[in-house]
Amino acid sequence: MNQSTIALFSLSPLFLSCAMAQTTDDVEVIEISTSPLFLNHHDSIQSKLEESGVQFSSAGGASALPVLNGMMGDRIQLLTDGAPTTAACGNQMNPPLSYVAANEVHALTVLPGVSPVSRGGDNIAGVIEVSTLVPEFSDSSEFTWQSGRLGYFYQSNDDANHLDAEAIVANDQWYIKYVGAQVEAKSYEDGNGNKVLDTLYKTQNHAVSAGYRDEKQRIQLSIHHQSIPYQGFPNQYMDMTDNNSTTVKARYERQFSLFNLDAMVSTRNVDHEMGFFSDEKTGMMPMLTESRDDAVTLHFDIPLDNGSLMRFGQEWFKNSLDDWWPAVEGSAMMGPNDYVNINDGERTRLAGFIEWQSADTGNWQYLAGARIEYVTTDTGEVQPYVDSSMSMMSSNVAAAEAFNAAERKQTDTLTDITLTATRKLPNDSQLQFGLAQKNRAPNLYERYTWGTSTMAMSMIGWFGDGNGYVGDINLKPETAHTVTAAYQIDKQLWRAEINAWYTDVEDYIDADVIGQFNSSGLDSGERNLLQFTNLDAKLMGASISAAGELVDNEYGRLTLLNRLDWQKGERKDDSSDLYQILPLQNRMTVQYEMDALTASLSWLWADSKTDVDARRKENTTSAYSVINLNTSYNIASFTFRFDIQNLLDEYYEQPLGGVNIAQFKADSSNGFSQIAGRGRSIDVGVTWQF
């Protein structure tokens, strides 16, 4: 059986089926043994992150947005092998996790709140790291076949077919690896048997990596190509009609006499198209985006004589973006010009950090660091569909003139400071404390989307709320002050942790209402027009986790795991609720293992969601519970999997799902209902390792 690894910063609670646990560099590493097929399930990355306390805001079938400590999107720095990925879309239809197939992933690392400065900046919620570039060398000098894998997985609810493959050839100095995956799914059904419109999608990923090593150094190179020919987004006015990306990445590691070097260079090109492709949500309006992400990082580790460690680093990141909407022939509103939304947009980050980690001696261990980033954003002149102030979209003419006359270049200085302290206590327990000041600069869409017509504004926004958004060139960076505290106890047969966090954010980028629109004529069809703005906010949360071994004998091993999460988020000016805050939620799992059989029965309960953002017309949701059954069985080189998701076929609305725009367009009489979750699905699969 293969192993995937989820590594969590020591202040974050996680209780999973653990094969082993260890602490390295103040980071708790928990290895999770799973059948290889589990990693082929299209949402296995999401499900593993959910077990570690990450939530998700619904989007397309492969493009859900992570939510960490009550904050979503760009407030989380998501790194793939050390390189950030920018969502090249005004609706964030291609967020960072969407570029990685599940069977590529070797490790997921969640660093919420007080994340070390060496692990990324330009975030206030934390860091999620995805590791795919893992050495695959053998112990032999013969360059030979090492392993291969073919897998197939089927989901009954959405008629989804998952195919994947992997092959490795290597010796003790060289390796070459291929990983590929394809998923095709129809729209799924909810617990009442009704189709949730516009949730169909298709993705394809191919990655080739190679590496060389000797006694002092190691170099690795990877090329990744992804194609998403279509992906429905039920909570957006548009769909993805194509997304092609190519990523080239190189990593160099070397041990010197006084320090260790870790260098990375990466470039990613993205061609993205939005429009309509299905009769489940129809329309006619193309939108095109071209984006490029470049990254260079240099990290140095210097061991000190007293057993402590110093880290230094320099990083450079650049995102280039063009976003335009081609004219529609014969349309009075969308032509005769191309609508230029962002023209030669650039967002450049130059960062340096220093970090000190104390020796692992005595009762106290410390990790302290400081990071400075210079973030520069700029963009060229824009143009509306039409030049006439007498047109139906005349507001965009004046808006474009004002935007082009404005000073668009902005420079921000971000200063991150973090400190964590761990106190070892008797009886296998410890206390952990964390303090941080962290910053995030506005993204290109928050600053530079300029159209003020209803149509233009409704094309912007990654919140899935059906509202429309316009940017503000003069937005300030967000500054978050976070404090965390945790108590852990780890016994031979059981483990428990209580974790709490509080974040105070200055210049939090939220939105204020500047108008309304209604495409149905009914009160339930009204939506708001909003402008991004700075304000002050506070967020807080707590979790209680526990894991214990119930039985371990000749009849197998039985383990119970439980996690309870609570969150709250408010504006400080009027105490109104922030958007997409998770209601009280509990996740309980009973796991059984015996020889080649692994099985688990999990129960997820979520309380009713009543704390909602009135400005975004966020829906309330009712309490619900979902039971899932997962099993796998190994026979020789084959792994068979049988799962039943939503065993009781429960109907529920996703608290962080957003509104169902596709359903509203099909029948506006019920207004903007919340997106429903999946009904029962019977899933089967097999993997052959050779």
CATH number at residue 336: 2.40.170.20
90 lies in the same domain as 145? no
pLDDT in tens, 204-237: 999 999 999 999 999 999 999 999 999 999 999 9
119 lies in the same domain as 175? no
Question: Which CATH number characterizes residue 16's domain?
Answer: 2.170.130.10
Structure tokens at 548: 């214990």
- Kind of pairing between the strands at 76-80 and 126-131: parallel
7 lies in the same domain as 140? no
Last residue of a domain, one of 130, 158, 192: 130
463 lies in the same domain as 560? yes
Please name the amino acid found at residue 329: E
For residue 318, what are the contacts with CB-CB under 8 A and spacing of at least 6? 292, 293, 294, 295, 346, 347, 348, 349
- The pTM score is 0.92
Report the distance separating Cα 265 and Cα 618, nearest Å.
41
**Residue 67's domain spans which residues?**
3-130
| CA-based nearest residue to 529, from 542, 539, 514 | 514
Are 611 and 550 in contact, with CB atoms under 8 Å apart? Answer: no
70 lies in the same domain as 178? no
Q: Decide: helix, strand or coil at residue 307.
A: coil
pLDDT of residue 391: 63
113 lies in the same domain as 137? no
pLDDT of residue 521: 87
pLDDT of residue 604: 97
For residue 523, what are the contacts with CB-CB under 8 A and spacing of at least 6? none
For residue 262, what are the contacts with CB-CB under 8 A and spacing of at least 6? 251, 252, 253, 297, 298, 299, 300, 301
Residues with pLDDT less than 50, the chain:
1-43
Report the distance separating Cα 362 and Cα 637, nearest Å.
47
353: left (phi over 0), alpha (psi -120 to 50) or beta: beta
Report the distance separating Cα 202 and Cα 76, nearest Å.
26
649 lies in the same domain as 576? yes
Tell me how many domains the chain contains: 2
Q: Which residues pair with 624 in a beta bridge?
A: 606
165 lies in the same domain as 267? yes
Q: Give the DSSP per-residue string, 243-304.
A: EEEEEEEEEEEEE-SS-EEEEEEEEEEEEEEEE--BTTB-----EEEEEEEEEEEEEEEEE-
For residue 92, what are the contacts with CB-CB under 8 A and spacing of at least 6? 59, 63, 65, 73, 462
Using CA atoms in the order 503, 509, 510, 516, what is the torsion angle rounded to 10 degrees?
Answer: 180
Sole residue written with tokens 């041990």: 255
483 lies in the same domain as 569? yes
Report the distance separating Cα 588 and Cα 409, nearest Å.
50
352 lies in the same domain as 332? yes
Last residue of a domain, one of 130, 150, 177: 130
Q: Decide: helix, strand or coil at residue 322.
A: strand
Question: Looking only at Cα atoms, what is the longest distance across the chain?
Answer: 82
pLDDT of residue 121: 96
Are 575 and 621 in contact, with CB atoms under 8 Å apart? Answer: no
101 lies in the same domain as 159? no
Last residue of a domain, one of 110, 130, 150: 130
43 lies in the same domain as 104? yes
